[in-house]
Amino acid sequence: MKIHEYQAADIFKKYGIPTNPGKVAATSAEAESAARDFARTVVVKAQVHVGGRGKAGGVKLAKTAAEAKEVAEKILGMNIKGITVKKVLVAGGIEIKKEAYVGITLDRARQKPVIMVSAAGGVEIEEVAAKTPEKIVKAWVDPLLGLCDYQVRDLAGALFSDPAQKKETAAILKALWRVYTECDCSLAEINPLVVDGAGKVLALDSKIIFDDNALFRHPDLEALRDANEEEPSETAAREANLSYVPLDGEIGCLVNGAGLAMATLDVVKLYGGNPANFLDVGGSSDPKKVVNALKIITGSGKVKAILFNIFGGITRCDDIAQGILTALSQMKLDLPIVVRLTGTNEEKAREMLKGTKLIPAATMVEAVERVVEEAKKKS
C-alpha cells in the first residue's frame, strides 16, 4: 500500500528523522494561508501516489502567498499519470547544498533487505542504477542481526565527508531501518536527503510503501489508505476481497488463480483481443463473489464480452457452473459470456450451460478465440 509524502514524513518524524515541515492544503486558499505562515519562498508539491511529479509539473516554487495560491490552483485537479491531484503539500523553501539518496527495500534474489545510498540524489534511483550504477553504494542487512553500526558508518561515509553530517546521516539511516522493519515496509526512501544552508542533514522528500500482507498487524497504518488514489472499481474489488487490476481493453476476464489469470490475458492479446482487467475470482463457487466480480469489471461500460476461465481442480465444475448461473440470474447483463470450465465434472457443467445464453468452451484457446470474436461483433 502506498501513502502520501506528507504521511510518510509524519512517520519519519515520529522515528526521529529530521524533515522539512509542511502543511497539507486541499484548496488554493488553504495553500495561500499556509504559504503566508511560512513568510518566505515555499514549494508546493502535488500529493499523489506516483513518481515523476516534478517532471509532470506537480512541484512548483512560489515566492509569495499570492503566487502560492496561483500555483496551487494549477496543481490541484491536475492529472498526473491518470490520478487527479486532490491535495498539495506546502513547505518552506530551503537552501540545498547537497542532495543524496537513501532507501531500503527487499533484494528478492538475496532474500535480504538492502540499503542503498547514492551521492546522486534528487533523480529516480532506477535512472541512476541504469546509467551510473557505480554511484550507488549498497549494504545488505542480515535480518537476524539487524543493521550493524559498521554498515551505517560505511554508508554515511559514502555520502558525506563532514564529521557532523556523517553523524547525522548515521542516525537517519538507523531510524529509517527501524521504520522499514517496525512498519513492515516494502520500501522506505528519502530522495533527496539534503544538506541545507546551515549544514544540517534532513529528508526533503519521504516515501513509504507498506507490505500489504502485513497490514493486518498495523491498523494505524491501514488508516492512512487514500481511496481517492484508486479507481472506484479497485476500491470495490479490495472490499470484496478480489484481486483485481483494471486495464484498458474490452474483454472482461474472470479467472481462478493469479497465474492462470495472467496467462489468460496474454492469450487474449495473442489472439487479437484486449483484456479489460485482471481478476482472480478464486476457487469458490460462491455466487455472491461472481456477482461482485461481474459488477466490478462491467462498471466502466467498456466491456463488450466476458470470459470465464476456470480450472476447477478440486472444486467441482458443476458447482462453479451453478454459481455462475445463480449470479447471472441476480443481475441484468446483456453481454456475450464465454465460459471455459475444466476439471471434475466438466461435461456435466457444460451440459448445464446448454440452453442458457452462456457459450461453453472446452479449452482456454477455444474460449479466447470465441470471446475475441464476440467482442469484435459488438464493436
Residues that bind another protein (CB under 8 A): 106, 108-109, 111-113, 125-126, 129-130, 142-144, 181, 184, 186, 211-214, 216-217, 243, 245, 247, 255-263, 265-270, 275, 278, 280, 283, 311-314, 342-344, 363-365
Catalytic residue among 189, 229, 346, 374: 189
Which backbone phi and psi does 24 adopt, to 5 degrees? Answer: -90, 135
Q: How far is the CB of 56 from another protein (least distance, A)?
A: 15
- 45/49 with CB nearer another protein: 49
Interacting residues of 45 by C-beta distance below 8 A, sequence separation 6+: 5, 22, 53, 58, 59, 88, 89, 90, 91
Q: In which residue are the cell numbers 554498515 written?
A: 151
CA distance 269 to 275: 7
CA distance 139 to 180: 15
3-class DSSP state for residue 218?
Answer: coil
Q: How far is the CB of 268 from another protein (least distance, A)?
A: 8
CA distance 359 to 337: 6
Q: How far is the CB of 108 from another protein (least distance, A)?
A: 4
Among candidate residues 85, 88, 119, 114, the one with its CA nearest the CA of residue 188: 114
Q: How far is the CB of 201 from another protein (least distance, A)?
A: 25
CA-to-CA separations, 144 to 109, 112, 140, 141, 180, in angstroms, rounded: 17, 10, 12, 9, 15
Catalytic residue among 101, 180, 229, 250: 101
Question: Which amino acid would we find at residue 39?
Answer: A
- 74/225 with CB nearer another protein: 225
- 228/344 with CB nearer another protein: 344
Instruction: Clarify whether 189 is annotated catalytic.
Output: yes
DSSP string covering 273-293, please? --BSEEEE--S---HHHHHHH
Q: Which uninterrupted H or E stretch holds 271?
A: none
- 259/355 with CB nearer another protein: 259
- 7/186 with CB nearer another protein: 186
Q: How far is the CB of 323 from another protein (least distance, A)?
A: 16
Contact 287, 262 (CB under 8 A): no
Q: Which residues are marked as active site?
A: 101, 189
